[in-house]
Amino acid sequence: MERKSIIPGEIVVEGEDYLPGEGTEKRDNKIYSLRYGLAEETNKLIKIIPLSGVYEPRRGNVVIGKVEMLTHNGWVMNIGSSENGFLPLAEVPRYVNKDEIAEVMDIGDLAIVKIFSINSRGIDVTLKSRGLGKIDDGLVFEINSNKVPRVIGKEGSMIKLIKDETKTNITVGQNGKILINGEKIEDELLAKRAIEHIVEKSFISGLTEEVTKWFKENASRDVPQNKELEGKK
59-76: per-residue pLDDT in tens?
Answer: 999 999 999 999 999 999
What CATH number does the domain located at 139-231 have? 3.30.1370.10
Residue 76 per-residue DSSP state: E
CB burial class (10 A; 0-12, 13-18, 19+) of residue 214? middle
Q: Which CATH number fits domain 62-134: 3.30.420.130, 1.10.10.10, 1.10.10.60, 2.40.50.140?
A: 2.40.50.140
**H or E element: which one contains 160?**
helix 157-166
Residue ranges, comma separated, of all CATH 3.30.1370.10 domains in the chain are 139-231
Residue ranges, comma separated, of all CATH 2.40.50.140 domains in the chain are 62-134
Query: CA-CA distance, 6 to 43, in Å (whole number)?
Result: 19
Query: CA-CA distance, 48 to 28, in Å (whole number)?
Result: 19
User: Which overall architecture, per CATH, does domain 4-49 show?
Assistant: Beta Barrel (2.40)
Kindly list the averaged pLDDT for each block of 10 residues, start to end, along the chain of length 233: 79 93 91 86 86 81 96 94 92 88 94 94 94 95 91 93 96 97 94 95 87 86 46 49
